């Protein structure tokens, strides 16, 4: 089983709104091509190019797990016409009956017209891949647990958005802080390695959370506009202290 991060998340928000940069991961297991989340519209071309680099066409993706239905995690779902989509029962009820403005227009109708599996805790996506219920950020958040070489890796979505949430056990931007704390504790108890929704891979060693990588973001201004260093701004995440 191989896990490749196709689009990289970055924590933080701007004074004009969310950055919306979340992790999108490709899991290759035997004949399966499985995506965990699909990212926001702004990374659409990046996602397609990353799939091409791994010799995967959108039509080859046969399963897509959506951690929840916020735009930055599901905007590109329509690119995968042959996929079975996994959404939790609670998230589906929330999306179809609620008024969360971060759920993109049309996603419910799209999923209704495709092969949709409404999942529960411990639903098996493929051998060695199991969904776990991790509510809080939204009522139906799910994470994906993978057994890799005897270790458990968890793709957490926004149950754990970044290294600070995993280290402290407390979540920012959550509909239910108590549920989020329980979900983070559940992930810490199970996982050897965690991919948050908006940060790099984290290793869990007892009470310690160790950042394996430090994401960076480069913002380039159009030529002729001054700012930063020669029109370039670089944002770098430092290691946990």
Residue 239 lies in a domain: no
Residue 56, by phi and psi: left (phi above 0), alpha (psi -120 to 50) or beta?
A: beta
Structural contact between residues 133 and 88, judged by C-beta atoms closer than 8 angstroms: yes
Which pLDDT belongs to residue 180?
A: 98
- What pLDDT is attached to residue 241? 60
Q: What is the pLDDT of residue 239?
A: 74
Q: Look up the CATH number of the domain holding residue 87.
A: 3.60.15.10
Q: Is residue 235 part of a domain?
A: no
Does residue 241 form part of some domain?
no
Give a yes or no: residue 232 inside a domain: no
Residue whose token pair is 């179809």: 96
Residue 231, domain member (yes or no): no
20 conformational bin, left if phi > 0, alpha if psi -120 to 50, beta if neither: left
Q: Which structural domain, as residue segments, surrounds residue 166?
A: 2-214
What pTM, to 2 d.p., does this model score?
A: 0.96
Contact 32, 62 (CB under 8 A): yes
Residues 194 and 202 sit within 8 Å (Cβ to Cβ):
yes
- Pairing type for strands 216-220 and 208-211 reads unpaired
| Residue at 224 is within a domain | no
C-alpha pair distances (Å), 122 with each of 42, 59, 142? 32, 27, 10
Q: Over the stretch 104-125, which tens digit does the pLDDT of each residue have?
A: 999 999 999 999 999 999 999 9
105 by Cβ neighbours in 10 Å (0-12 / 13-18 / 19+) ranks as exposed
Number of domains in the chain: 1
Asked whether residue 29 is domain-assigned, the answer is yes
The answer to whether residue 155 sits within a structural domain is: yes
- pLDDT tens string, the chain, 241 residues long: the values are 899 999 999 998 888 888 899 999 999 988 899 999 999 999 999 999 999 999 999 999 999 999 999 999 999 999 999 999 999 999 999 999 988 999 999 999 999 999 999 999 999 999 999 999 999 999 999 999 999 999 999 999 999 999 999 999 999 999 999 999 999 999 999 999 999 999 999 999 999 999 999 999 999 999 989 999 889 999 998 876 6
Tokens of 219: 């913002």
Are 123 and 130 contacting, i.e. CB atoms less than 8 angstroms apart?
A: yes
């Amino acid at each position: 089983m191989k896990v490749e991060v196709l689009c990289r998340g970055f924590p933080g928000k701007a004074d004009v709104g969310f950055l919306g940069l979340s992790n999108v991961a490709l899991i290759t297991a035997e004949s399966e091509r499985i995506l965990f989340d699909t990212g926001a519209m702004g990374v659409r071309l990046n996602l397609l190019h990353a799939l091409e680099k791994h010799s995967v066409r959108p039509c080859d993706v046969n399963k897509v797990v959506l951690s929840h239905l916020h735009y930055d995690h599901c905007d590109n779902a329509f690119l995968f016409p042959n996929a079975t989509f996994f959404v939790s029962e609670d998230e589906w009820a929330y999306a179809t009956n609620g008024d969360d403005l971060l759920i993109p227009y049309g996603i419910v109708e799209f999923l209704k017209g495709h092969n949709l599996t409404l999942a529960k805790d411990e639903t098996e996506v493929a051998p060695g891949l199991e969904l776990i219920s991790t509510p809080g950020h939204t009522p139906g958040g799910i994470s994906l647990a993978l057994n890799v070489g005897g270790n458990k890796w968890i793709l957490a979505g926004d149950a754990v958005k970044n290294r600070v949430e995993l280290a402290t056990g407390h979540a920012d931007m959550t509909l239910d802080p108590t549920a989020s704390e329980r979900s983070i504790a559940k992930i810490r108890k199970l996982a050897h390695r965690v991919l948050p929704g908006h940060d790099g891979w984290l290793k869990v060693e007892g009470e310690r959370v160790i950042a394996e990588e430090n994401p960076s973001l480069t913002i380039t201004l159009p030529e002729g506009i001054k700012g930063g260093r020669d029109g370039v701004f670089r944002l770098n995440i430092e290691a946990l202290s």
